[in-house]
Structure 1
Amino acid sequence: MPGDESSGSKTSTNQKPYGVVNIKTHVHIILDFNELNYDGWRRLFETHCRGYWALGFLDGTSLPKSDKDEEWYTLDFIVKSWIYVTLTQPLFTSIVKKNSTAHSIWQSLEDLFRENKDTRAIELENEL
């Protein structure tokens, strides 16, 4: 985790996310509500975040040490921006909220797509 010195050199783990200029070269799927591509997008995104010591920002295990933990807020902002640029415009518009964290956005997407998946399964079953 960023800031966790036991997981390696603080500099090497904390600086890694700053080096990602274009997330779309790592996560090449654009999440689209109409494409039902959430599972693939999620796997790519989690793999990317794990490789960049940022998975804790998605699962909520990385928390700021205080309200003034600038490093945590900066890294959370980076992960949020990664999420935002891998969404379609309509999905981005529906999910963006002021003062959200990467974890809250991640959870909102999970809720949105998992709920839709169950509804779609019921619709398909009824068609059969």
Structure 2
Amino acid sequence: MADQVSAAPLDRVYGVTNIKTHVLFLLDIDDGNYDAWRKLFRTHCQSFDVAGHLDGTVLPANDADEAWTKRDGVVKLWIYGTLSKDLFRSTFKTGGTAHEIWLRLETFFRDNKEARVVQLDHKLCSQEIGDLSIHAYCQELKSIADLMANVDAPVSE
């Protein structure tokens, strides 16, 4: 009976049939939402006791650890299920673990920091109010400033 209780949290991972009901938006190259996606996705994995598959702290007991392989497969499906089509095409490789995919995404977004700073700075400096309300315009400026802070280029007040 004790074995069933301890196994129950790991079995919950198989109950998530649609990851998009838990992670409410797609990670997209152009949306600048990596940090928000990363935090939400990691929190989701923590609540299902599989965050170790992301950070590499949970490893298979041996080459035949089928339970670990299945859970890792579910986490990989969750990751791929929350990527935009373009990002999926850019980062997909056959094989590998959820941890390797997680690191590949981290590298993809973090290695492009300088280019992203230049792009966001240009967007901030050239943002026009156009047909936006004052509130919407200010929200857009704040959003750009937040994205710049996420890539270690905070905008002063």
Bin for the TM-score computed over the shorter chain? 0.7 to 0.9
Whether 2:123 is the aligned partner of 1:117: answer: no
Q: Which one-letter code corresponds to 1:95 in the other structure?
A: T
Which of 1 and 2 has higher RCO (CA within 8 Å, sep 6+)? 1
Whether 2:99 is the aligned partner of 1:103: answer: yes
Residue deviations 1:74-105 (CA, integer Å, cap 9, x gap): 00000000000100111111211111110000
After the TM superposition, which of the residue ranges 113-122 and 40-49 deviates more from structure 2?
A: 113-122
Q: Which one-letter code corresponds to 2:86 in the other structure?
A: P
In structure 1, C-alpha distance between the alignment counterparts of 2:26 and 2:120, rounded to whole Å: 25
TM-score (norm 1): 0.87
In structure 1, C-alpha distance between the alignment counterparts of 2:102 and 2:64, rounded to whole Å: 23
SS of equivalent residue, structure 2 residue 28: coil
Alignment length (residue pairs):
122
SS of equivalent residue, structure 2 residue 111: helix
Q: Which one-letter code corresponds to 1:60 in the other structure?
A: G
2:86 to 87, 90, 95: 90
CA RMSD of aligned residues (A): 2.0
Rg: which structure is higher?
2
Unaligned runs of 5+ in 2: 126-157
TM-score (norm 2): 0.71
Map of 1:37-116 to 2, 5 A cutoff?
A: 37-116=33-112
Instruction: Could you list the structure 1 runs, at least 4 aligned residues long, displaced by more than 6 angstroms after superposition.
Output: none
In structure 2, C-alpha distance between the alignment counterparts of 1:32 and 1:97, rounded to whole Å: 18
Match of 2:139 in 1: none
How big is the shift at 1:10? 2.3
